[in-house]
Chains A and B, each alone.
Chain A
Amino acid sequence: MKLLYTILTTTLFSLAVFANPNTTTQSSPKKFIILGDSLTEGYGVAQSAAFPALLQKKVEQDKLNWKIISSGSSGSTSASGLQRIKWIAKSKPDMVLVLLGSNDGLRGLKPEETEKNLNDTVEWAKQNNIEVSLGQLHVPPNYGKDYEKKFSAVYAKVAAKNKIQLAPFLLDKVAGQKDLNLADGIHPNEKGHQIVADNLYPFVKKLISK
């Protein structure tokens, strides 16, 4: 009887875990790493006020057993993607969201080069069985229509080529808004990061709730 009870309990528990992999009853949460630049690093705001930390709060509110980890590095370009995904792979992430390329755009690098770098990063992740997705980025309008168009198109191309999910533009409703950015006019302030988290969370939630 005791044995039967044990088997039954174990089976039911296993079924429950299978039914909802994100349940809080799991002891060790899965890792969702955001690989990005100064936006991800939360340049100018406390780490606890940057959007990865705010996403983590939302995940906890929804009782999803995931840990959102920020891996942002100010000034980094897409060229650092491959090296850095190899670094974070050591911590065995379950999912990685690549948010690189803003600095490529701001420095006027060739969109073809950015595309190649992002492809290399995504391909390596896939080859190493890391579930990866990509975040859409844009350059400010002052870079000119042609460049803006070519640059923005890179993300859709990489996503399509690698058959991965493309997150919406994280600075939507934030870019260019004086009240939502720091004095440098580029990096979001605390309020801006809150909106960035709101912009991204539906996408993240969908990914981790699969």
Chain B
Amino acid sequence: MQKLLKLFYFVQKDLLSQKKLNSFFVFNLVLGFLGFLLLQVFQVSLDQQTKNKAQEILGGDIVISARRLINEAEVKTIEDKVNLQFQKRAKSTDFFAMIKFGEQSRLVLVRSVGDNYPLYGNLEIKNSDGNNATLIKIMSGEVYVDPELVDQLKITDLKTANLKVGDVDLKLEGVLTSDPSRTFRLGALAPFILISEKDLAATNLVKAGSTVTTSFLYKLNNPAAADSAKTELEKNYLDPSLRFSSALQEEDGGNRVFRYLIDYLGLVSLISIGLCFLCLSYMLNWFFQVQKKTIAIYKILGMPDTTLLKVQVLKNLILSISSFKIALVIILLSLAPLQSLLDNYFKIVIRLTISPMQIFISFLVVVIGPQLIAIPTYLAAMSMNPLILLRQEVSQANLSRRLMIAWVASVALLFWGLAVWQSHSIQTGSVFIFGLLAATVVAWLFISSLRKLTALFVHKFNFELRYAFLSLIRKPGSTDLIFMTMTLSVVVLTLLPHIKKSIVEEVRPEVSSKIPSVFMFDIQMDQKDELIKIVKEKVGQDLDMTPLVRSRILKINDQSYERVEEQGFFKTRESENEARFRNRGVNLTYKANLQDSEELLKGKWFSATPGEMAEISLEEKYAERIGAKIGDVMTFDVQGLEIKGKVASIRRVRWTSFQPNFFITFQPGFLEEAPQVYLSAVNQINQEQVRVLQNAVVDRFANISIINVKQSVEKSLVFIDQMALALQIMATLALVVGFFIFIILINTQVGERINEMNLLQVLGSTQDQLYRIMITQFSLIAFLSLLVGLGLGSLIAYVIMAVMFKLGIYFDYVSMLSLIVVLVSLTFGVLKVSMRPLRNLQPLALLKNEGGLVDGK
């Protein structure tokens, strides 16, 4: 106890004797922690928001569904077998039916639901009195419908309307205005109606032979376990008619956006950790450097090394914890104004929160973690001769090799573990850590080679330049530290804007005029011309028609492509899925040019004149799945006629482009005569025009399906825009944290050099010369860090975009230019401020050794 009190006494004395230095240290730590915590708050809140949205769309954390009836007993067996732990369960039964209102009849998608529906999100309605409300529970005898159905069934008075659904009459209680489960991907063939499960039997529509989809939706006790529960269910149930879905593991396009966001947020977490580690480990190193004289004095006075080590660690911990507390209080006080800013100015629907667990984990990451990084510095200092400590610079290379390896391995392991934990992916975390390690090695090789190279030529420079270079060469430890920290900061700052740009390019249509309002399909060849006229007349648009030719792949290079079921069953769910994938036929199209949503990756686009065999272009992931490559010959059965095609190119398709996209595209000149239908879209028309067009098309061509996607597409785009803005905020926030590092670096390094400058002044250098020496040194380091950092960052961003995210490559040049401008301005600005003491240098200070920030009288 007495020993502990003594330890605290030393720490207290130490803290009080260096108030100015400690305050400066705390100030910088607070800045670093503020950035980290703010990034954490955003990342976690956005991550939660994205997951909530995915849950709302799926309707639960996990869903068991089948295109048939599932009864209670069957679902109970499934739940028991995998021990599914859930808070609530809801059931829905979906089927198409013709409903009637008076003499009008219409195809609708009926959804009958139980009491707990929906488990996530709210169903918003406009009731028969015209008031907006949230639908809490659907009662027996009630029906709620999509707004367009009111028009289509010519319902004039909502209050008295009854709809006949099968054998039962249901009272129209309201119009659905918002349904969280309805997204663009569900742009349905028919309007939607909602009825109570209690009325399902009375409709008499669901019986043997009916085509229904039954879904059991679950709100799990632990929503994070949804993916593992899904895997467990798939492992235990080979019945191909049962489908298991979890909110974030859906294969369809709608979830692609969520997956990108989650992956991006994981990356932001990594970057915030990376920046924080860089900043804090630099700060600890620097803090130690400026305290080395105090340590030397303690050593000379006879303080044992172990006590000295304890005092240093304890002091650093006290300062770090205090800084963390200050940052936390500032964050907690800022949450409400920030939330208001997001709600009112940015219009982003996310709830900013910070949980106790998050605070605890952040504490471990940012307070405890960096102490580990500083261990070699502590140990080296303790084992050194006090006289060495009194020199300008302390080498950190005096650790035994075994200890050094153990330290590097443990830090790498710790950081890797954190990276995997934050990104929720071994692959993402590992690639990130590997990328940073590789960047560190490259940066170190670069700066050490440059140092050696410069040493050969430095004597040719004039005094100021020579001095600036020599001071970088003579202090390799300090030069490497500042260069590597700046370079790595630039690397991580470069990643986010590039990746953000690629994600936004992937999910957001680049031309607003190509955002569809209605889709049309099943357009026959002989209906094409007249339909074009109708669209031109009603909404003034020229219609683009995309041909669709149905076919089957028979062979790839004379190898049979289809899979035949053997012995009456497939061995695994995967083999069954693979067989169904291969056997289900393919849609072909033909066209002369690539469209905006496509990018050629390999091979060449079609020749202008067709040869003997058709050239074909395959989408990259499809080509990978079927195992086709450039030069392969594929044989198709186009409705009884065999056609061969040679793979001439592989292309990337942006599936979220809202344009008709195909896996296989033929060169023009081969499929024109084949039976085909056309798809088309009318873009950017208002709701009234949609109504007029729908009526005109349906009146003339009953077979053409014309689907109104205006509302769902617009809703999706609002979400995408909000997310894009949130990503921008996150990227900007990370930039600001990175700028802190630059400020801290320059500030501390200039502080370290004040004594040296004072000495130069005593020896006869002018103030201007001193400024020029300092500016040369720092401009050189900043310029080289920017150069190497931007190059390495762009390279890592390329790998992440192409390999991990599998996105099109888009570099954000504007952000890079802004980054250069801001970092250069920042470097000069901070230099200017931190070099102020140069104006009032007093030779006496040299004798007192009062350079920079060290307290003294």
Residue positions of A touching B, CB distance < 8 A: 33, 38, 41-49, 69-80, 82-84, 87-88, 91, 104, 106-110, 113, 117, 140-147, 175-176, 178, 182-186, 189-191
CA separation between A38 and B552, bound complex, in Å?
A: 11
A109 near B703 with CB under 8 A, answer yes
B550 near A75 with CB under 8 A, answer yes
Chain B residues closer than 8 Å to A83, beta-carbon distance: 524-526, 675
Q: Which 6 pairs from chain A and chain B are nearest by CB?
A: A108-B107, A185-B67, A176-B209, A79-B703, A46-B562, A73-B550
CB closest chain-A residue, reference B99:
A144
Q: Which of A47, A69, A147 contacts B552 (CB 8 A)?
A: A47
Assess whether B640 is interfacial by the CB under 8 Å rule.
yes
Knowing A45-B565, A46-B562, say if A178 contacts B107 (CB, 8 Å). Answer: no
Known: A45-B565, A83-B675; 16 extra A-B contacts, CB below 8 A, are: A44-B583, A45-B583, A71-B639, A80-B675, A84-B675, A91-B641, A106-B96, A110-B702, A113-B702, A140-B211, A141-B205, A142-B211, A146-B98, A178-B241, A184-B67, A190-B565
CB closest chain-A residue, reference B674:
A87
6 contacts between A and B (CB under 8 A): A46-B562, A79-B527, A80-B524, A87-B674, A142-B211, A146-B98
A142 near B677 with CB under 8 A, answer no
B524 near A49 with CB under 8 A, answer no
Knowing A47-B554, A79-B703, say if A87 contacts B673 (CB, 8 Å). Answer: yes
CA separation between A42 and B705, bound complex, in Å?
A: 24
CA separation between A44 and B564, bound complex, in Å?
A: 10
What's the nearest-Cβ distance from chain B to residue A199, in Å? 15
CA separation between A76 and B524, bound complex, in Å?
A: 10
Using an 8 Å CB-CB cutoff, how does the interface string of B646-685 with A read, 1 for contact, 0 for none? 0000000000000000000000000001110100000000
A33 near B189 with CB under 8 A, answer no
CB closest chain-A residue, reference B521:
A75
B241 near A49 with CB under 8 A, answer no
CA separation between A33 and B677, bound complex, in Å?
A: 20
Chain A residues closer than 8 Å to B99, beta-carbon distance: 144
Q: Which of A47, A70, A75, A176 contacts B208 (CB 8 A)?
A: A176
Chain A residues closer than 8 Å to B787, beta-carbon distance: none
Chain B residues closer than 8 Å to A71, beta-carbon distance: 639-640
B583 near A46 with CB under 8 A, answer yes
CB closest chain-A residue, reference B675:
A84
What's the nearest-Cβ distance from chain A to residue B695, in Å? 15
Q: Which of A33, A46, A113, A183 contacts B640 (CB 8 A)?
A: A33
A43 near B96 with CB under 8 A, answer no
Chain B residues closer than 8 Å to A88, beta-carbon distance: 639-640
Interface residues of B in 498-553 (CB under 8 A from A): 522, 524-527, 550, 552
Assess whether B88 is interfacial by the CB under 8 Å rule.
no
Assess whether B240 is interfacial by the CB under 8 Å rule.
yes
B563 near A79 with CB under 8 A, answer no
Using an 8 Å CB-CB cutoff, how does the interface string of B72-111 with A read, 1 for contact, 0 for none? 0000000000000000000000011111100001110000
B640 near A91 with CB under 8 A, answer yes
What's the nearest-Cβ distance from chain A to residue B581, in Å? 9
Assess whether B166 is interfacial by the CB under 8 Å rule.
yes
CB closest chain-A residue, reference B579:
A46
Q: Which of B205, B211, B565, B675 contacts A87 (CB 8 A)?
A: B675
Chain A residues closer than 8 Å to B97, beta-carbon distance: 142-144
Q: Which of A33, A69, A145, A191 contacts B568 (CB 8 A)?
A: A191
Chain B residues closer than 8 Å to A106, beta-carbon distance: 96, 211
Chain A residues closer than 8 Å to B399, beta-carbon distance: none
What's the nearest-Cβ distance from chain B to residue A38, in Å? 8
A183 near B585 with CB under 8 A, answer no
Assess whether B66 is interfacial by the CB under 8 Å rule.
yes
CA separation between A76 and B562, bound complex, in Å?
A: 22
Assess whether B402 is interfacial by the CB under 8 Å rule.
no
Using an 8 Å CB-CB cutoff, how does the interface string of B50-74 with A read, 1 for contact, 0 for none? 0000000000000000111000000
Using an 8 Å CB-CB cutoff, how does the interface string of B619-641 with A read, 1 for contact, 0 for none? 00000000000000000010111
What's the nearest-Cβ distance from chain B to residue A107, in Å? 6
Chain B residues closer than 8 Å to A176, beta-carbon distance: 208-210
What's the nearest-Cβ distance from chain B to residue A163, in Å? 26
Knowing A75-B550, A176-B210, A178-B241, say if A144 contacts B639 (CB, 8 Å). Answer: no
B107 near A107 with CB under 8 A, answer yes
B211 near A186 with CB under 8 A, answer yes
Assess whether B381 is interfacial by the CB under 8 Å rule.
no
What's the nearest-Cβ distance from chain B to residue A73, in Å? 4
B522 near A79 with CB under 8 A, answer yes
CA separation between A108 and B13, bound complex, in Å?
A: 86
A182 near B240 with CB under 8 A, answer yes
CA separation between A76 and B563, bound complex, in Å?
A: 24
What's the nearest-Cβ distance from chain B to residue A12, in Å? 36
Assess whether B113 is interfacial by the CB under 8 Å rule.
no
Knowing A49-B565, A83-B675, A185-B68, say if A108 contacts B209 (CB, 8 Å). Answer: no
What's the nearest-Cβ distance from chain B to residue A5, in Å? 43
Assess whether B207 is interfacial by the CB under 8 Å rule.
yes
CA separation between A20 and B724, bound complex, in Å?
A: 74
CA separation between A55 and B522, bound complex, in Å?
A: 29
B639 near A73 with CB under 8 A, answer yes
What's the nearest-Cβ distance from chain A to residue B105, in Å? 7
CB closest chain-B residue, reference A50:
B583
Knowing A71-B639, A73-B675, A83-B526, say if A183 contacts B66 (CB, 8 Å). Answer: yes
B98 near A147 with CB under 8 A, answer yes
A141 near B207 with CB under 8 A, answer yes
Assess whether B243 is interfacial by the CB under 8 Å rule.
yes
Chain A residues closer than 8 Å to B459, beta-carbon distance: none
B583 near A42 with CB under 8 A, answer yes
B67 near A141 with CB under 8 A, answer no
CA separation between A38 and B562, bound complex, in Å?
A: 16
Chain B CB within 10 Å — which of A33, A110, A141 has the most? A141
CA separation between A73 and B525, bound complex, in Å?
A: 15
Chain A residues closer than 8 Å to B554, beta-carbon distance: 47
Chain A residues closer than 8 Å to B673, beta-carbon distance: 87
Assess whether B836 is interfacial by the CB under 8 Å rule.
no
CB closest chain-B residue, reference A186:
B211
Knowing A88-B640, A106-B96, A183-B240, say if A43 contacts B584 (CB, 8 Å). Answer: yes
Chain A CB within 10 Å — which of B208, B565, B640 has the most? B640
A44 near B209 with CB under 8 A, answer no
Knowing A83-B525, A106-B96, say if A142 contacts B210 (CB, 8 Å). Answer: yes
CA separation between A87 and B243, bound complex, in Å?
A: 39
What's the nearest-Cβ distance from chain B to residue A43, in Å? 6
Knowing A47-B554, A183-B240, say if A147 contacts B67 (CB, 8 Å). Answer: no
What's the nearest-Cβ distance from chain A to residue B67, in Å? 3
Using an 8 Å CB-CB cutoff, how does the interface string of B162-192 with A read, 1 for contact, 0 for none? 0000110000000000000000000001100
CA separation between A190 and B637, bound complex, in Å?
A: 20
Chain B residues closer than 8 Å to A74, beta-carbon distance: 550, 584-585
CA separation between A71 and B209, bound complex, in Å?
A: 26
CA separation between A77 and B579, bound complex, in Å?
A: 26
Assess whether B580 is interfacial by the CB under 8 Å rule.
yes
Assess whether B380 is interfacial by the CB under 8 Å rule.
no
CA separation between A176 and B522, bound complex, in Å?
A: 26
A185 near B241 with CB under 8 A, answer yes
Knowing A75-B550, A108-B96, say if A183 contacts B241 (CB, 8 Å). Answer: yes
A87 near B639 with CB under 8 A, answer yes
CB closest chain-A residue, reference B677:
A80
A140 near B522 with CB under 8 A, answer no
CB closest chain-A residue, reference B582:
A46
CB closest chain-B residue, reference A185:
B67
B524 near A79 with CB under 8 A, answer yes
Q: Which of B240, B562, B702 contacts A109 (CB 8 A)?
A: B702
Assess whether B206 is interfacial by the CB under 8 Å rule.
yes
CA separation between A82 and B673, bound complex, in Å?
A: 14
B565 near A108 with CB under 8 A, answer no
CA separation between A52 and B703, bound complex, in Å?
A: 27
CB closest chain-B residue, reference A38:
B585
Chain A residues closer than 8 Å to B701, beta-carbon distance: 79
Assess whether B212 is interfacial by the CB under 8 Å rule.
yes
What's the nearest-Cβ distance from chain A to residue B191, in Å? 11
